[in-house]
Amino acid sequence: MSMGEIHPHMKKSASIKGRNVIGWNLRCLRRGQSRKTTLEDLAARLAVRGVLLDRSAIGRIENNARYVLDYEALALADALGVDVAALFKKFDSCEVASSKTPGKARKIFKSGAQ
């Protein structure tokens, strides 16, 4: 097998762009908390729950370059203090605006589906 060639039994994830709704929502939920949660913070919260995802893996999820397994979705929702359904809800836009108080942010979701 030559270098750069994909092993036939390896999971191919390069073609998932746009098919992972969790990524966008995860970023919105993470950044929209009253105290902005960093990738490292979220990775630590997941580790406490027994799910080992480093900040790079979470970044790949948010950028739609990695699938999310079912147990990971449950842990992500729990770590962010939201219902797992929030990870799957369709949002038209997600804005995170800084409030006048340093270190605080507020989340504004404009939902496409009511």
What does DSSP assign to residue 98? E
pLDDT in tens, 19-34: 778 998 999 899 888 7
Provide the CATH number for the domain around residue 44.
1.10.260.40
* Sequence-distant (≥ 6) Cβ neighbours of residue 76 within 8 angstroms: 22, 26, 42, 46, 68, 87
The rounded percent of the chain whose pLDDT value lies above 90 is 47
9 inside domain = no
The answer to the question of residue 2 being in a domain is: no
pLDDT at 76 over 70: yes
Residue 38 lies in a domain: yes
Please count the structural domains in the chain. 1
